[in-house]
Structure 1
Amino acid sequence: MAQSKEMTSGASLPLIFNFTLPLLLGNLLQQTYSLVDAAIVGKFLGINALAAVGASTSVVFLILGFCNGCCGGFAIPVAQKFGARDYVTMRRYVSVSLKIAGVMSVVITVITSLLCAFILQSMQTPENIFEGAYQYLLITFIGIPCTFFYNLLSSIIRALGDSKTPFWFLLLSTVLNIFLDLFCILVLGWGVAGASIATVVSQGISAVLCYIYMNRKFEILRTTASDRRYRPELAKQLLSIGVPMGLQFSITAIGSIMLQSANNALGTACVAAFTAAMRIKMVFLCALDSLGMAMATYSGQNYGAGKPDRIWQGIKSAVVMMMVYIVAVNVIIWGWADKIALLFIDPSETEIIKDTALFVHINVSFFPLLGLLSVLRYSIQGAGYTKLAMFSGVSEMVARVLVSLIIVPMFGFLGVCFGDPMAWLFACLFLVPAFSYVYRRLHLIVAKERN
């Protein structure tokens, strides 16, 4: 029988660390696939194919980020009710969230698939990689229901304090993904389209298996006929938390699209360097993202239990772990970035390798800002203030737009390298006072409930 876990008592640092570790391993698995995917495409299909995959990275983040944000948001009331030990309402939230996810995923799939070509044209995608980028993006959009349900089910399980079970399903998905990637590209010869087909199929299979396992092994999630009834009031609450959380990711991605559009205009070589650098960066930042995800569950459970002081304790513990990790990452990156780039790029492409290393060096130097952003934003979201957290995404968007319109035209690819660090700075300038406000509000709410 799978076990849920409360994080409302005990020392915060070991609780958060133990919860974060499976998330980190899971994110590393995802990034391992991403690296293998890019390496296979870059090495066997060439620089143009690698650029075709990378040309739509920001658009994929825009759409899938919204879906994944909604999934994380739908799990927040589940974590809060679990922390409050209101298991009946918790199960009803789970049931309603699955129904909402079904409708939303189909609607998003239809709209994005129809707009696929228009999006790539608007992003100034180079003509020589347009067809490959279109195939990759269209298949990714068609597979949105698979992505939506896989992430929702994983988020629900994590909301119960179990971060290990989603890891095992992610391991299955990653291994299957890599196998299908090799089969579709090298054996079937499907090119760039094969990479996206492999991802969609593997996530779809994992989502089905995750659902079966969750219902059989998590006794606390077994619903009655009454629990499964659609409840508009719960749907409204889920949407009020999930949609702003999804929009926060999408708003952030709008700035990323602007930045990538500016980079696309610099030519195929810059697109290839950006693609390789983003793959490398994503591997190293996934620990910070995992720590943030852990804080969302930790914050949500302790909010439900009426223990705001534990949320602050958790943040301090998370910051300590964050800084130790960032020091280690900087040591690795400053010594090995150009060598890591050789995973994706032929050694003869010296200029692309140089630009890739430059991008990664600049970004990891600003990781303390990204770490603080992740910890504070996810903690605010876990407490249910997703609308407030959404404005940090607005701050990021504004920063990336300014860099795209002003800095990139002046400094070229060097300006692109500073797009994300500038966004992280703008977000932190908003999130620090925002968390202070939320923390005071939580204390007032708890004091009022006790009186």
Structure 2
Amino acid sequence: MEETKENKIIEGVIWKQLLLFFFPIMIGTFFQQLYNTIDAVVVGQFAGKEALSSVGGSSAQIINLVVGFFTGLSAGASVIISQFFGAKDEEGLKKALHSAYAFSIVGGILCGILGVLFAKPLLTIMNTPQELMAQSTLYVRVYFSGLIFIFVYNMGSAILRAIGDSKRPLYYLMICSVINIALDLLLVLGFHLGVAGVAIATLISQAVSAVMVTAALMYRTPGLKLIPAEIRFHREEFSTMLRIGLPTGIQSSMYSISNMIVQTVLNNFGVDTMAAWAVFGKIDSLFWMVNGAFGIAITTFVGQNCGAGKWDRVKKGVHVCLGMALVTALAFSAVFLSEGSLLFRIFTQDKGVIMIGLRMVAVISPTYFLFVFIEILSGALRAEGHVLVTTVMTLSGICLLRILWVTLIVPNGTLEEIVACYPVTWAICALGMILYYGYKQRKIFAQQKLKTAP
């Protein structure tokens, strides 16, 4: 590793470094979201609301469950790599890199096989309407056939971001998004493949992104070199990855499971509601894209400064990041509430679907600011290695309560009562996260004062 190169994440102006790291992540996440969003736009406008529901309904929830779980696990690799990088531990960095890649390859193959085999049973459990079953099953199976590419790309990009390189993952996603859009139009409009066309387009473009990020780690990343022959599990580093990443992965999967249960309830309202929920998910993802980018930025920032022992920067960085994320959350709420109808018309011209979607927007969008505290504070705690309590808090405060809400509290509720489970659970978990973060930081800083006392 180059000793003379300044690491600005642990040296530079805090707000500037957060923004310099945040914007490439945000734009990159935007292009990653563009994969499925363009799929939804193309099938919604040219193949009908049934195809739109097949791409964005129950099938999307199943995909989010598996991909979200692995992304959470990859956070463990991101944290220890950022700490090794901040501490300039070359041997630890090398072992962590190759363990992470072994995990993404094995995980991608195994989860891909399971997804193909169990696609139809899962869709059946979720009350997917019979008229959507064939297309939804096809979409899920094609998507899972290329899951190894998605896992490899997500792991590779997480590794690059962990060492402060958020630009190259952005460039790769921009290229692959263009490929995806071109293939969507070609396969849906040119060859009339419908749902199968958008699934194949996504698979091919994800494969390209996986190849590019792997090549970058093999040949063009100073301080890191991926050597295919050395890809294997190193017990200590892999155990640490799992210790940090597994709670996050479980947390992410529980989010998805609770969302799947909400989706199952909403499926009973019919195809129009399913289509509206699918479109709302794409619009809603714009906020999660930005909020998630702030979460990744603060995790990397705290991880590297923690590794370097710069605790004052950790504290200031979290406060600055919270402020920026809150401002953007309030801005998204205002835009969605005022321009919701226009946003829905990008995906569908069906007036019934649009009216149902606007009812969802009115309940959920005003409360985005609540989740900012959950995202930023849990990201900072994760980077410090404290994940167990935040995971339990999230599982009980959001996931379990959300399930209880739709199954016991409002089992036969209206649309508004069902989707109200989101703001209610965010509020409860945000309060718990604020209290726990404050307690944990006071404890950490007290320990640091004892260490530095004369």
Distance 1:284 1:127 in 2: 32
Preserved CA contact (<8 Å) 2:103 2:233 = no
Secondary structure of 1:7's aligned partner: coil
Indicate the residue corresponding to 1:213 in structure 2.
Answer: 216
Report the CA distance between 1:205 and its aligned residue. Answer: 1.2
Secondary structure of 2:10's aligned partner: coil
TM-aligned CA distance change 1:404 to 1:56, over 3 Å: farther
Secondary structure of 1:302's aligned partner: helix
1:262-281 → structure 2 map (5 Å cutoff): 262-281=265-284
Indicate the residue corresponding to 1:389 in structure 2.
Answer: 390
Distance 1:37 1:118 in 2: 24
Indicate the residue corresponding to 1:402 in structure 2.
Answer: 404
1:247-286 → structure 2 map (5 Å cutoff): 247-286=250-289
Indicate the residue corresponding to 2:19 in structure 1.
Answer: 17
Indicate the residue corresponding to 1:307 in structure 2.
Answer: 310
Preserved CA contact (<8 Å) 1:4 1:161 = no
TM-aligned CA distance change 1:330 to 1:229, over 3 Å: closer
Task: Work out which of the residue numbers 150, 157, 162 in structure 2 matches 1:154.
Answer: 157
Preserved CA contact (<8 Å) 2:102 2:231 = no
Distance 2:362 2:31 in 1: 23
Preserved CA contact (<8 Å) 1:91 1:227 = no
1:358 aligns with 2:352: no
**Which amino acid counterpart does residue 167 of structure 2 have in structure 1?**
K
Distance 1:405 1:55 in 2: 18
Indicate the residue corresponding to 2:432 in structure 1.
Answer: 430
Distance 2:351 2:81 in 1: 50
Preserved CA contact (<8 Å) 1:5 1:160 = no
Distance 1:229 1:350 in 2: 54
TM-aligned CA distance change 1:88 to 1:402, over 3 Å: same
TM-aligned CA distance change 1:142 to 1:306, over 3 Å: same
Alpha-carbon displacement from aligned partner over 1:40-66 (angstroms, at most 9, x marks no partner): 111111011111112222211111101
TM-aligned CA distance change 1:17 to 1:193, over 3 Å: same
Indicate the residue corresponding to 2:340 in structure 1.
Answer: 337
Preserved CA contact (<8 Å) 2:217 2:226 = no
TM-aligned CA distance change 1:439 to 1:192, over 3 Å: same
TM-aligned CA distance change 1:234 to 1:265, over 3 Å: same
Judge which range, 409-418 or 66-75, deviates more. 409-418
What TM-score, normalized by structure 1, do the two folds share? 0.93
Q: Percent identity?
A: 27
Distance 2:6 2:281 in 1: 35
Alpha-carbon displacement from aligned partner over 1:314-347 (angstroms, at most 9, x marks no partner): 121012212322332233222210111111111x
Report the CA distance between 1:239 and its aligned residue. Answer: 1.7
Secondary structure of 1:221's aligned partner: coil
Preserved CA contact (<8 Å) 2:101 2:231 = no
1:19-418 → structure 2 map (5 Å cutoff): 19-53=21-55, 54-222=57-225, 230-346=233-349, 349-394=350-395, 395-406=397-408, 409-418=411-420
Judge which range, 71-80 or 411-420, deviates more. 411-420
Report the CA distance between 1:220 and its aligned residue. Answer: 0.3
Secondary structure of 1:411's aligned partner: coil
Alpha-carbon displacement from aligned partner over 1:12-36 (angstroms, at most 9, x marks no partner): 2111111101111112223334332
**Which amino acid counterpart does residue 384 of structure 1 have in structure 2?**
G
Preserved CA contact (<8 Å) 2:258 2:400 = yes
Distance 2:448 2:87 in 1: 13
**Which amino acid counterpart does residue 363 of structure 1 have in structure 2?**
I
Preserved CA contact (<8 Å) 1:13 1:314 = yes
Preserved CA contact (<8 Å) 1:373 1:427 = yes
In structure 1, runs of 5+ residues without a counterpart are none
Distance 1:41 1:438 in 2: 48
Distance 1:329 1:271 in 2: 23
Distance 1:356 1:159 in 2: 37
Distance 1:245 1:440 in 2: 23
Report the CA distance between 1:282 and its aligned residue. Answer: 0.6
Preserved CA contact (<8 Å) 2:76 2:240 = no
Distance 1:220 1:420 in 2: 43
Distance 2:360 2:6 in 1: 41
Report the CA distance between 1:228 and its aligned residue. Answer: 5.9
Report the CA distance between 1:5 and its aligned residue. Answer: 4.2
